[in-house]
Structure 1
C-alpha cells in the first residue's frame, strides 16, 4: 500500500481518502499516515458518497465478491491481478460494470507505462513473428514459510493463488494484448502438496508462431523475454517491470538498446489511465478483453493440470 500511496501522490486526478480492512488496526495502519480514514465494513465503503473509485488488493478469491458490491454501488474499480478467479467471474463483473456505467480495470502495470509504447512501436519492424518466449520466475519470500508449515494466502488454492495466477498473468496479459487468444493451449505444472502450482509452463499455438510462457514461485530465472520475428527480435529484461529493451536486427546482426522512461512508478501510470477510464469507461474495453483472454487461457491450463479453485464452475467434477 505504500507504493500505491506514493503513486497516488504523483497523479493529480487521484486522492487517497479511505482504506478498508476487516481489521480496524490494519485499516488505520494502511491509511492513517496518508490522511485516509479507515473502514471495516465494505457496505459502508460502497455507500460513501465522497468516494468515486476503489483499488482492490485483496486475495484473488475475494475480488469478485468485493468488486461486484462496489460496482453495483456506482464505484469505479481498479482490481489487482489476477482480476478474478476465473473467466466466468470476470464476465459477471463486466456485465455489472456495464449496467452501472462505471469503469473496471485489472492493474497489469506494464501495459500502461511509456515502455509499452516502445514495444508496440517495434512490432511491425520485427517482420512476421515466429516465436514468443515470456517468463516470470521468482522465488517467493513466503515460500520459506510454506516449507515450515505456515501456508500464506499466495500458496492457497482456496485463495485462487499459485504461480500462474500470481506471476503468469504478467506474461499472458501483454501476450493477449498483442496477439489475442491462441488457437491451442498446452500446459504442464509442478504442484505443491496442497494442490497449488509451484511453477507452470504453457505452450500456446498461433497461426504463424508458437509462444511459451513460464512462471514459478519457487525458483528464480533472470533470462530475458523475447518476441522474435523474421527481421528482428525484441528482448525485454523483465516482463513485469522492464528496465531495458533490446532489438536484434537479423540481417545486420546488430542490436539497438532502448532507454526507458522510469521517472514515475508504474502504478502512477495505471492510476492516470484509470482516471481517464473513469471519465470514459469505454476506454477500458481493450484491457478488459485482454484480461478475459488471459483468464480463459489460465482456466484451460488449470483444467489440464488439475489446479482447481472453489469458485470454478466444474469444481464438483474434480473431487
Structure 2
C-alpha cells in the first residue's frame, strides 16, 4: 500500500515513527502548504520520503499513492478528504473525522459513490486490548455503569491563559476538550456499546467560549456512561466498566489502552496484549490489511463507528451551547 502524508505537525511525526514498523506501507510523499515547505523538506530528509508537494491538486493528479493520510488541523479534514475522494484516492483521516455529523456523512457517502475507502484513525479501536475488552464484556453480566477519564494539561494551555489562542483552544477551529481529547472516551464507549439513547455535556468554558474541560453523560437503555476530558488539568487516565457479575478496569490513557484488568468470577485477570510502544502501529497495520484484502466490511464498521461518534458529538455540543464549526 502506497501512502502520501498530509501535514508536518506532531501527529505526523508520531505516524511516521509508527510506520517504521509497517513494511506493507510505502510512503510516497509529504504535503505541506507553500509557507511550510521548509518543514516538509526537513521531514522528507529525516524520514527518507522521496517527494515533497505544496500543490495538492498536483499531488492528487500525479502521486502514485493509494491513500492520503490527512494529518492536518481539524477544520480542514473535510475539504482535503473530499478533494482526495473526488480524485479517486482512498483516505485515512485523523480524528476527529470532521467537525459535524453532516460532513462525516457526506464524506462517507462520497467515498461509497467513488468506490474509495475512507477510514478514521482512532488508535484505540485497532489495539489488541480493545478487542480483549470487547471479548470480556460477556463475563461482566448486565452492564450498569461506565466511567472514562482522559485528562491532560495541554502544552498550549499556558499560552491560552496569557491570551494567545492556538487552534487547540479555538472553537472556530474545532478546538477544545470535546473534539480533541474526550473524543477518545466517546470512541471507547461507543465502540463497546454502540449508539446511546441520549447524551448531555457540561463544560468548563474559557474566555473565548471554548470548552477547556467537560463531562459527557451518555444514557443507554440499562445503564449510564460518563466521559471526562480535560485540557486544563491533569489526572490519571482510566476507564471502568461495571457489571452485575464483575468489573473491568483500564489503567492508562483511553487512546493507548496500556493495561486492562478483568475482575470476574472471583479472579483478577490482567490483559496486556498491545505489542508496540507506538500506539499507532496497530491501526496502520490494520489499514494496510484492509486495503490488501479489499475488506469492505471492515470499512463499513469503521464508518458506522465514525457516524455514531459524530452524531453524539453534535448532540453534546448543542447541549452545552458550544459554538458550531462551519
Note whether the superposition's TM-score is higher than 0.5.
Answer: yes
**1:306 pairs with 2:321:** yes
> For residue 195 of structure 1, what is the aligned residue in structure 2?
209
Picking from 10, 33, 43, the partner of 1:30 is 43
Distance in 1 (CA, whole Å) between partners of 2:65 and 2:216 is 40
| CA drift at 1:223 | 5.0
The number of aligned residues is 309
Picking from 186, 201, 209, the partner of 2:200 is 186
> For residue 315 of structure 1, what is the aligned residue in structure 2?
none
> For residue 3 of structure 1, what is the aligned residue in structure 2?
14
Query: Secondary structure at 2:213's aligned position in 1?
Result: strand
Q: Deviations over 1:201-254 (max 9, x none)?
A: 1111111111111111111111521011111111001211122111123x63x4
Give the unaligned 5+ runs of structure 1: 312-319
> Is the 1:130–1:208 Cα contact (8 Å) retained in structure 2?
yes
Of the structure 1 ranges 26-35 and 117-126, higher mean CA displacement relative to structure 2 is found in 26-35
Query: Secondary structure at 1:187's aligned position in 2?
Result: strand
Query: Secondary structure at 1:266's aligned position in 2?
Result: coil
Query: Secondary structure at 1:200's aligned position in 2?
Result: strand
> For residue 140 of structure 2, what is the aligned residue in structure 1?
126
| CA drift at 1:264 | 5.1
Picking from 67, 84, 88, the partner of 1:70 is 84
| CA drift at 1:6 | 2.0
> For residue 42 of structure 1, what is the aligned residue in structure 2?
56
Distance in 2 (CA, whole Å) between partners of 1:294 and 1:85 is 11
> For residue 275 of structure 2, what is the aligned residue in structure 1?
262
> For residue 310 of structure 2, what is the aligned residue in structure 1?
295
| TM-score normalised to structure 2 length | 0.91
**1:271 pairs with 2:284:** yes
Picking from 106, 111, 117, the partner of 1:92 is 106
> Is the 1:201–1:214 Cα contact (8 Å) retained in structure 2?
yes
> Is the 1:19–1:27 Cα contact (8 Å) retained in structure 2?
yes
Picking from 232, 236, 260, the partner of 1:222 is 236
Distance in 2 (CA, whole Å) between partners of 1:259 and 1:270 is 17
Picking from 152, 157, 179, the partner of 1:165 is 179
Query: Secondary structure at 1:17's aligned position in 2?
Result: strand
> For residue 95 of structure 2, what is the aligned residue in structure 1?
81
Query: Secondary structure at 2:92's aligned position in 1?
Result: strand
Distance in 1 (CA, whole Å) between partners of 2:290 and 2:172 is 32
> For residue 69 of structure 2, what is the aligned residue in structure 1?
55
Structure 1 residues 40 and 223 mapped into 2: Cα distance closer, same or farther (>3 Å)? Answer: closer
Of the structure 1 ranges 261-270 and 37-46, higher mean CA displacement relative to structure 2 is found in 261-270
Give the unaligned 5+ runs of structure 2: 1-11
Of the structure 1 ranges 128-137 and 223-232, higher mean CA displacement relative to structure 2 is found in 223-232
Query: Secondary structure at 1:256's aligned position in 2?
Result: strand
> Is the 1:102–1:278 Cα contact (8 Å) retained in structure 2?
no
**1:232 pairs with 2:243:** no
> For residue 256 of structure 2, what is the aligned residue in structure 1?
241
Distance in 1 (CA, whole Å) between partners of 2:210 and 2:62 is 37
Picking from 220, 236, 249, the partner of 1:206 is 220
**1:12 pairs with 2:23:** yes
Distance in 1 (CA, whole Å) between partners of 2:232 and 2:182 is 13
Distance in 1 (CA, whole Å) between partners of 2:145 and 2:130 is 19
Picking from 156, 162, 165, the partner of 2:170 is 156
Distance in 2 (CA, whole Å) between partners of 1:261 and 1:275 is 18
| TM-score normalised to structure 1 length | 0.93
